[in-house]
A and B are shown apart, each in its own frame.
Chain A
Amino acid sequence: MHAYECRFRIGIISLKKRHSMSTIATSQISTADQSLPKAPTGIPGLDEVTNGGLPRGRPTLVCGSAGCGKTLLAMEFLIRGAIEFREPGVFIAFEETVEDLTQNVRSLGFDLNKLVRQKKLALDFVRVERNEIEETGEYDLEGLFIRLNAAIDSIGAKRVVLDTIEALFSGLQNEGILRAELRRLFRWLKDKGVTAIITGERGDGTLTRRGLEEYVSDCVILLDHRVNDQISTRRMRIVKYRGTTHGTNEYPFLIDEEGFSVLPITSLGLQHTVSDERISSGIPRLDTMLGGAGFYRGSTILVSGTAGTGKTSLATHFVNAACERGERCLYFAFEESPGQLIRNMRSIGLDLGKFVKKGLLNIHSSRATLYGLEMHLALIHKMVQQFKPDIVVADPIGALMTAGSGRDANLMIIRLIDFLKARGVTAMLINLTSGGDTLEHTAVDISSIVDSWLLLRDVELGGERNRALYVLKSRGMRHSNQLREFLLTDHGVELLDVYVGPEGVLTGSSRMSLEARERASVLAVRQEAERKERERQRKREALEAKIIALRKEFESEETESVLLASEEVNRRQRLENEQHAMAISRGADEANGDARPRRKLNSK
C-alpha cells in the first residue's frame, strides 16, 4: 500500500511536468513558425508534431529499418502535396519500379497514374545494377542531376522524394566520388528550392547505414517498428529539426487503408475549455448523489469495481440517458459484441437497439489483444473524429493492459483522456479491479486525472452478495459521502439507502429483515407512546377534576368567611349601638373620649 502511494505521487509529479512542458511548447510555436517557412505534409498528426510541416526548400531525412513505412510517408507527402497544396512532386525510386509503386499505393486509395496524367506527379525509377557497371577513372553523377532536373522542370515540381538514395552505394564502388556527389546533390536541391524527402535505411547504431544524416541536417525523422509481446507498434520521432521547435517525443503512427497517420496526442496541453453544463447519469438517485445534477459535460468519469458489480449496467444507463437527450454516443466494448451487449441490457429494461438504429449509438467491439495499444488509440481517435460523439464509453479500459505493458497503457489512457477532454467529449471509463487489490487501487493508475470516480463493490453478508455504490470523488461538486445499495431490477438500476447501524452496513435481505424488525420496533414504540399519552390524558383529567373540587371548596369557604365577617360587623355595630344607647341612657358627655371610637366605627 505504501509503495503504491509513492508510485502514485511520482505519477502526479510527472504528469504536472508533462503538462507544464507542453504549455511552454505551445507558447513557442507561434514565434518559431514565423521564422522558418514550412511545407505542410497533409499527413494527419505529422504537421502538428512538426509545428507546420517539413522545412520548405530544404531536404529532410526520413530513416528507419526495413518495412517501417519510409516510402509510404514520402509518397504520401508528395500525393497530399499535389492534391491538397497544389505542389507537384517528383518521386525518384531507387528500389521499386514505377509499376510496383503505383500498385502499392493504389491499395491505400491513391491513383498515381491519374496524378501523373494530370502533371501533378512525376515518377522515375533509377536502377542501379552493380554487375552491369564497371568503373574506370573519374566520373560524377551529373546524369542523375540531369534526370532529376528534367523531371522537376517537366511539371514545375515543388517537392522531391529520393527513395532511397543509399542504393547508389551498392551500385557504385567509388565511395569518395559518391559522397562528394551526394553533398553536391543536397546543396543543389536546396538551390533548386524544392522541399525534399530523402529516405535512408537504418544502420547499426547510426541513423542511416551510409551516414546520410551527415549531409541532410535540417530535419531528421526516425521511424521505428517494434514488436513487443507479439504485438507490433509503429513509432516516429523527430531527431532534429533545425531552426524550429517540434515535438520531441516518440509518437505512435499508423498505416492503414487511409495511409499514414501520426498521433500527436502527447502534444496536447491542458488548455481545453470547460463546460458548466451538467448531464444526468441516467439514474436519478445517482444524480442526487452528485450534487443533485449529475456529471459535468466534458469530464472524465471512472467507474471501477470488481467483476459483476454492474459497471456495464451503470454505463449503459448513462448512454441510454444521453441517447434519449438526442446526443451521440460511442461505446467501445472490449469484451462483448454489440449484439450481446444489447441483449444483456434488455434484461434490465434498457433498449439500446433502437438508438443504434437511429444512428445515435455506435457500439464498437474489438478484442483488446487484436491490436497494439497505439492501434487501439488510433482507432479510437479516428472513430471519435468521424462519429463526433458527445459521450464515449470504454468498457473495460483495463482490457487494454493486456495489449501493452502497464506503463504504456497508462500513457495511452492519459493521452486518450486528454484527447477527449480537448474535444469536450464526456468519457466514461470502466475499470475492472481484481478481487485481491484494494478497491481504490485501480489496475490503471489514472485515478488522479479523472474528474469523477464511482466505485462499485459487493458486500457479502448473510450468505448473499449485494452491490453497493459510492462516489469516491467528483471534482467541482458537493457529492454525497454515503454508500448506496445498488439494485439491478428489470426496469433498470435503482439506488437505495443502505442500513447503517450498530450492526454495521447491511444490504440485501439482511437489510430487509432488519428493516422489518425496525418497523416492528417502531410500531411498538408508537404503541407505547400512545399508551403513555392516554395515561397522561387520564391523569390530567383527574387533576383537573381535583382542581375544580378544590376551587369549589375554596369558594364555599370564602363565602362563609365573608358571611362571618359581616356578621362580626353587625355584631360590633349592635354592640356599639348598645353601648351608645347605654351611654346615652347614662347621659355621658359628648366630649368624652368615648365619642372617638364611635366615629371610628362609623367611618368604616
Chain B
Amino acid sequence: MKKASAKTPLSLEELARHQSPDDAEKWDLRLYVAGQTPRSVAAFANLKRLCEEHLAGRYSIEVIDLMKHPQLAAGDQILAIPTLVRKLPQPIRKIVGDLRDGERALVGLQLRPAKN
C-alpha cells in the first residue's frame, strides 16, 4: 500500500497503474544540482544509466542548477544536493545522493519493490 502523500487523491485504478512501473507511462524526472561538482556529474551519469536500463524511451530528465536558479529550491523543498525528484508519475518521490547504489535508487523511484 502506498502512502497518500500526494495532494490530489488517486483513484484505485490509478493506484494500480502506479504499482506497475513497466507500463507505458511518461516519467518526468528532475535532478537538482549545485554547480558542476564531481558529485553532481556522477549523479547525472548514474541517473542516465538507470533510466536507459529501465525506462528507455519514456523518460525526461531536467537538470536544475541551483547556483543559477536559487529560487527554484523552495518549490520542491530541496535541502540536499544532489536530489532527484520524480514529478511524474505521482506521487512525488525524492532521492538524495549521487545514486551510486543503483538498487536503492530503483527502490526509491519505485521501479522495484523494497526488499525485506
Q: Tell me the A residues contacting B by CB distance below 8 Å.
A: 124, 126-129, 131-144, 146-147, 149-150, 168, 171-172
Contact = CB atoms under 8 A, between A and B. Distances in A.
Interface of B: 3, 5, 32, 34, 39, 42-43, 46, 66-67, 70-71, 73-74, 77-83, 92-101, 104-105, 107-108
Given A133-B95, A136-B97, A143 B5 contact: no
Given A146-B67, A150-B71, A141 B93 contact: no
Given A132-B92, A133-B95, A141 B105 contact: no
Contact of A134 (B70, B77, B96): B96
Given A128-B79, A138-B100, A141-B80, A146 B93 contact: no
22 contacts: A126-B79, A128-B79, A132-B94, A133-B94, A134-B105, A135-B95, A136-B96, A136-B97, A136-B99, A137-B42, A137-B98, A137-B100, A137-B101, A138-B97, A138-B100, A142-B34, A143-B34, A143-B78, A146-B67, A146-B70, A147-B73, A149-B70
A132 B74 contact: no
Contacts of B46: 137
Contacts of A135: 95-97, 104
A566 B70 CA distance: 158
A376 to B, nearest CB: 45
A139 B97 contact: yes
Contacts of B70: 146-147, 149-150
A134 B5 contact: no
B21 to A, nearest CB: 15
A139 B81 contact: yes
Nearest to A138: B98
Most chain B beta carbons < 10 A, residue from A127, A132, A135, A137: A137
Contacts of A142: 34, 66, 80-81
Nearest to B102: A136
A257 to B, nearest CB: 33
A137 B97 contact: yes
Contact of B80 (A131, A132, A140, A150): A140
A134 B81 contact: no
Given A133-B95, A136-B100, 15 more contacts: A127-B77, A128-B77, A132-B5, A132-B93, A133-B94, A134-B95, A134-B107, A135-B96, A137-B99, A137-B100, A138-B100, A139-B39, A143-B34, A150-B70, A171-B79
Contacts of A146: 34, 66-67, 70, 73, 81
A228 B62 CA distance: 58
A18 to B, nearest CB: 48
A222 B85 CA distance: 39
A602 to B, nearest CB: 162
A69 B101 CA distance: 42
Contacts of A139: 39, 80-83, 96-98
Contact of A143 (B32, B43, B92): B32
B108 A136 contact: yes
B2 to A, nearest CB: 10
Contacts of A149: 70
Contacts of A129: 5
Contacts of B104: 134-136
A134 B50 CA distance: 16
Given A128-B79, A134-B108, A138-B39, A147 B96 contact: no
Nearest to A173: B96
A171 B77 CA distance: 12
Nearest to B110: A134
B42 to A, nearest CB: 8
Q: What 3 A-B pairs come out closest when comparing CB atoms?
A: A134-B108, A137-B97, A137-B100
A179 to B, nearest CB: 14
A142 B97 CA distance: 12
Contacts of B93: 132, 134
B79 A143 contact: yes
A256 B15 CA distance: 49
B69 to A, nearest CB: 9
Nearest to A181: B80
A140 B81 contact: yes
A438 B21 CA distance: 88
B99 A143 contact: no
Nearest to B92: A132
B101 A136 contact: yes
Contacts of B100: 136-138
Nearest to B114: A134
A121 B14 CA distance: 42
Contacts of B97: 135-139
Contacts of B108: 134, 136
